């Protein structure tokens, strides 16, 4: 089986969705009612009905339109009129097909079903015929059913079956920011990304105040260190004054947490400053009073 295709991809873990998503694969018959089928807004039946036995097809409308009663149902099925254009010359397109309807047959069945269960229906299709053969219609015909009246009560509940009508064969829970472990990882990654940008900008500003055209790499290191030490006192006073500006002290860049929290993405992920502090606690290096993120500039010295 290809159930593994329903599993999350690596990219889903790198960028978790904001909303929760659980994909459940059930095995059962569309002729049977099961509570697990209730509560859906959309039901799609793609190339399904032509595989049903006559007894199953008779029960199908009651199960889908009467019991499940979603807001929208999309049903596709082969258009028998198109078959004359297909190679092979077989009666049906697939050996498991029990029937194949022309447009008049499908539309008659669809309109009768829609009227019976309070739906409207419109018709379209996929697979255009060759030029000059437009009269045969689409290769696959599609009926789009929309419920005329919104639900005014709870969905119909079926009697408890002697045994489950549907069997759960696979379930995949996708990573979501609703899960705090994924949220924390996303916040920490965003914090470090923003912090590195701030650090680079600050160090560039410091170095720009000095002549950077020396060919001696040792001199470059000394200039960066000197710049940091000379600038730290003034920046520290500014940080105390504003509470939002980064500053350098020795070999460390201090970036106030309030500065990082002010970025829209961080703010949206956390909601409150208190939650932000809790999520990054123990995951990044903070100052002694936990008011600023600390980044070492020694690596910058080595690169310069």
> What CATH number does residue 283 fall under?
1.10.10
Of 165, 195, 230, the domain-final residue: 165
The whole domain housing 255 covers 179-205+242-303
**C-alpha distances out from residue 57 to 61, 74, 122, 218, Å:** 8, 16, 20, 83
pLDDT of residue 206: 80
Of 135, 165, 195, the domain-final residue: 165
Q: Can you list the positions of beta strands (E) in 96-195?
A: 119-126, 140-147, 167-173
Q: Indicate whether 186 and 96 sit together in one domain.
A: no
Distance CA 109, CA 17 (A): 40
Q: Indicate whether 54 and 128 sit together in one domain.
A: yes
| Distance from the first to the final alpha carbon of the chain | 56
> What CATH number does residue 123 fall under?
3.40.50.150
Q: Indicate whether 45 and 71 sit together in one domain.
A: yes
pLDDT of residue 237: 43
Asked if residue 218 is part of any domain, the answer here is no
pLDDT of residue 151: 63
Asked if residue 55 is part of any domain, the answer here is yes
Q: Indicate whether 75 and 138 sit together in one domain.
A: yes
Q: 80: burial class by Cβ within 10 Å (0-12, 13-18, 19+)?
A: buried
The answer to whether the predicted template modeling score (pTM) of the entire model surpasses 0.85 is no
pLDDT of residue 235: 44
pLDDT of residue 215: 55
Q: pLDDT per position in the chain (304 positions), as tens?
A: 677 889 999 999 989 999 999 999 999 999 999 999 999 999 999 999 999 999 999 999 999 999 999 999 999 999 999 998 988 777 899 999 999 999 999 999 999 999 999 999 999 999 999 999 999 999 999 999 999 987 655 554 444 444 568 999 999 999 999 999 999 999 999 999 999 999 999 888 888 765 454 555 555 444 444 444 444 444 444 444 446 789 988 899 999 999 999 999 999 999 999 999 999 999 999 999 999 999 998 655 444 4
Check if the beta carbon of residue 74 is closer than 8 Å to that of residue 43.
yes
């Amino acid at each position: 089986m290809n159930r593994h295709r329903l599993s999350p991809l690596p990219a889903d873990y790198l960028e978790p969705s904001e909303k929760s998503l659980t994909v459940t694969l059930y095995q059962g018959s569309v002729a049977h009612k099961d509570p697990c089928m209730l509560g859906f807004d959309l039901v799609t039946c793609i190339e399904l009905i032509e595989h049903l036995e006559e007894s199953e097809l008779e029960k199908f409308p009651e199960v889908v339109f009467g019991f499940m009663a979603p807001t929208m149902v999309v049903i596709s099925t082969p258009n028998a009129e198109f078959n004359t254009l297909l190679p092979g010359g077989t009666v049906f397109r697939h050996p498991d097909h029990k029937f194949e309807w022309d447009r008049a047959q499908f539309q008659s069945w669809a309109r009768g079903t829609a009227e019976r269960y309070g739906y409207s229906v419109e018709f379209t299709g996929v697979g255009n015929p060759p030029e000059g053969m437009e009269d045969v219609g689409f290769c696959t015909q599609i009926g789009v059913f929309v419920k005329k009246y919104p639900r005014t009560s709870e969905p119909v509940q079926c009697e408890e079956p002697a045994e489950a009508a549907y069997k759960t064969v696979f379930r995949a829970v996708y990573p979501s920011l609703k899960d705090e472990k994924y949220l924390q990882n996303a916040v920490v990654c965003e914090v470090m990304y923003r912090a590195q940008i701030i650090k680079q900008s600050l160090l560039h500003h410091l170095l720009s105040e000095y002549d950077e055209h020396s060919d001696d790499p040792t001199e470059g290191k000394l200039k960066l260190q000197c710049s940091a030490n000379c600038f730290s006192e003034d920046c520290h006073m500014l940080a105390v004054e504003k509470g939002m500006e980064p500053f350098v002290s020795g070999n460390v860049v201090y970036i106030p947490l309030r500065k990082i929290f002010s970025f829209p993405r961080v703010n949206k992920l956390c909601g409150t400053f208190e939650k932000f502090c809790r999520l990054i606690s123990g995951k990044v290096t903070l100052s002694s009073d936990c008011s600023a993120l600390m980044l070492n500039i020694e690596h910058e010295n080595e690169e310069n």
